Each structure stands twice: as C-alpha cells, then as structure tokens.
Amino acid sequence: MSCDFSFEIHARDGKARHGTITMPRGEIRTPAFMPVGTAGTVKGLYMDQVRATGADIILGNTYHLMLRPGAERVAKLGGLHEMARWPFPILTDSGGFQVMSLSALRKLTEEGVTFQSHIDGSKHNLTPERSMEVQVLLDSNIIMQLDECIRLPAPDEEVARAMRLSYRWAERSKAAFERLVKPGEGRALFGIVQGGTNPLLRRESAELLTKLDLPGYALGGLAVGEPQHEMLATIEVTEPFLPSGKPRYLMGVGTPDDLIESIARGIDMFDCVMPTRAGRHGTAYTRHGKFNLKNARFAEDTRPLDETSDCSATRDYSRAYLHHLVKSDEMLGQMLLSWNNIGYYQRLMRKARAAIDAGRYADFVAETKEGWARGE
C-alpha cells in the first residue's frame, strides 16, 4: 500500500500504549484525541486555538463536506488543509455513519448506498470507490474505508450481514485507494472492525481485515446506544486480534471516562463531538468533574474553572462571567466553554501519555476519577 506512515510505540503499561504516528504533515502523539471539524471547522474555535490546546490532528466529515461545499469544490480551492488553515494531519471518516443516521431516504445494496441529502433532498450515491475519491479530493491524510454502521441492539444475523458487507467494502476501498493514491502523497487507509457487541463477530471482522495489512484499524459501531460496560468488554475481546504494532482508533468516543478506560484496554486514537457540543450547551469538563454553568450557584462565583490550567478560557474568565454568558445565550460563552473542553481533553491525553511512560497508568486513572468524584 502506498503511504507515508509509521507508528512507533515508546512505552507500554499493561495494555496502555504511548506512541507516535509519523506522517509528512506532522507527528501524532498517541493516545490522541482528535477534535471534530465536521464541516471544516471545529465549532467555536479558531484553528490556532485548536493547535494551542495540544491537538496534532483533527477530523473532517466526508458526508457533510461532500454535500456542502462539495468535494470537487474543496479540491479546486486547495483542499481542506488550505481552506481551513490547518497544515497538520487530518483524518476523514468515510461518510457511512451519517448516511445511515441523517439521510431521510436511503437504499443499501452490495454496490453501495443511495441516499437523499438532509440539506436539500438531492440524491447521491456513495460506494467504497466514491468514498475514497471524495476523501482524496478533500486532501485527507488518514482515510477511512466505507462501512455500514448499524444501531445497537440488533439481531446477530443483521450485525453479521453488516460486518461482512463492511469487509467486502474494505477490500474495494483498498483497491480504489491504491488506484487513486501515489507513493509520497502522505495518505494512509484504515480499516474498520465491525460486529456489534458479539465477540465472535468482532474476532471474525478483525481477522479478515488484518489480512488486508492496512496501516491502522478502527473499532466502529460502538457508542451507538450500548452501555459503557458493553463497549469496554467489546474492546477487550477485539484487541487481541488486532496487530500490536499498528494504531487502534475507537470511533466516535466519548466521555473523559470512556477515553481513559479505553486507553487502559489498548486504544490509541479517539474522536467525538462531545466536548464542543457540551460547551455549546453550557457544560464544562474540568479536573473537578463536569460543571453545568447554567446553574445558579455559579452566578457570583469569581473563581476560574481551573486556576492551574494552561488554557486561557479555563484560567482567565470567572465562573460568574461564564454563567452570565450562558444564561444570556451569548456566543462567547459557547466559544469559551468549547475551548475549555477541547483543552481539557488534550490535557487528559498528555497526562495519560506521561503516566504510561512512568508505569503508573492505573494510578492515573484512579486519581483522575477520584478528582471527578470529589469535586471541589
């Protein structure tokens, strides 16, 4: 496979790993949280703010960008890096999840999926080949295979059907990727392990996909309605069948607790809209736990969210001011809380990497959870 991509593991502590992905556009320190830039923007933040929080990579959304402004237009305008002023690595999802969850009308076949845009009702076809083409036009660095993601719970027969279809689409995605991408372009294709919460189906999916010898592997189809303990159990039964020397990406996850528990089970990469979505709704993540800034108890609280933080949004504005902004529905409140939350997620990743290096990851998890439980 033609790609400029390497992954080095620097330290392990149990299943937890500290590593570095190296690509032409930069290094990605793992465990890594990727802020979600759905439509070419991490909602509420400037890109230099995103970078300053410690993010090495962001995620772009294939479905949304192919519908608006269009993949061909993005390419004409210089690609997503140029448009968004983010010169560092970008991962794009395949578009499959949004097709299944957002489109009003859709028809799934072996060939791909025909769907109706949630924006204007226009009809589109998304096949593994078209997904690869769109992601290359967007100038993505880590490209995800097209897969079918179904909501859980679902009958095992339906989960197995979707998983095996996703594998056949992975084969086609790889073939299309290799036709489209020349050596030296700095791109890599990741496969997506499916199988719901069924251990046998997850193993089958992982074993099939690893035969394709892709640079990295994602766990898809989780955080779609199942409780946390089922998600973590699924990671545990899948991890032994994934290559130990390649990065593992848990898609669409999650809360800070989800992240640190998943790292303990061998996960290297994450993405989630949660930190910015929570910020837009008045919630701040901190080392003391979650704060709902709508709460009247913050109305005259002159303390910052966390005076020890290196993030200006967290350290330089009082809780009373943030409460006022949230209650007044002021845009600045949403921006500051989103900035705080992305900053907190990145600090969590930095501390996780340091704890793995020191061989005290379990202590880090316990101390972090104790801080959330204790509050102030």
Note the pLDDT of residue 2.
Answer: 43
Q: Which of 13, 56, 93, 268 is catalytic?
A: 93
- pLDDT at residue 228, rounded to an integer: 96
The answer to whether residues 265 and 236 touch, using CB atoms and an 8 Å cutoff, is yes
Pairwise CA distance, residues 119 & 217, whole Å: 31
Strands 248-250 and 216-219: what pairing?
parallel
298-308 as b/e, with b when 16 or more CB fall inside 10 Å?
Answer: beebeebbbee
State the CB neighbour count (10 A cutoff) for residue 209: 26
**6-30+61-272, what's its fold?**
TIM Barrel (3.20.20)
> Which pLDDT value is given to residue 224?
82
String of DSSP letters for 60-107: E-HHHHHHTT-HHHHHHTTHHHHHHT--S-EEE--SHHHHHHH-SSEE
Please give the pLDDT value at position 104.
Answer: 66
Burial (CB count <10 Å: 0-12, 13-18, 19+), residue 252:
buried
The pLDDT of residue 103: 63
Number of other CB atoms surrounding residue 139 within 10 Å: 22
pLDDT at site 213: 98
Cβ proximity of 282 and 333 under 8 Å:
yes
Q: Which helix (H) or strand (E) holds 32?
A: strand 32-37
- Sign of the Cα torsion 190, 195, 199, 201 reads negative
The pLDDT value recorded for residue 1 is 42
Sorted by where each begins, the domain ranges of the chain are 6-30+61-272, 279-374
E strand or H helix at 33? strand 32-37
Angle (CA) 308 299 285, round 5°: 40
Cβ-proximal residues to 295 (8 Å cutoff; 6+ apart), any chain: 323
Which residues, in sequence order, are CB contacts of 367 under 8 Å at separation 6+?
none
The whole-angstrom distance between residue 137's C-alpha and the CA centroid of its chain comes to 20
Active site residue 271: yes
- C-alpha 66/C-alpha 12 separation (Å) is 39
Other Cβ atoms less than 10 A from the Cβ of 280: the count is: 18
Residues of the chain with pLDDT under 50: 1-2
Q: What is the pLDDT of residue 293?
A: 98
Q: What is the residue whose two structure tokens read 């809380």?
A: 337
CB count within 10 Å of CB 111 equals 12
Name the catalytic one among 56, 139, 258, 271.
271
Distance CA 112, CA 179 (A): 19
The tens digit of pLDDT for each residue in 184-198 reads 999 999 999 999 999
- Tokens for 260, please give them: 């640190």
pTM over 0.85: yes
93 in active site = yes
Structure tokens at 357: 């290096």
Cβ atoms of 56 and 29 within 8 Å: the answer is yes
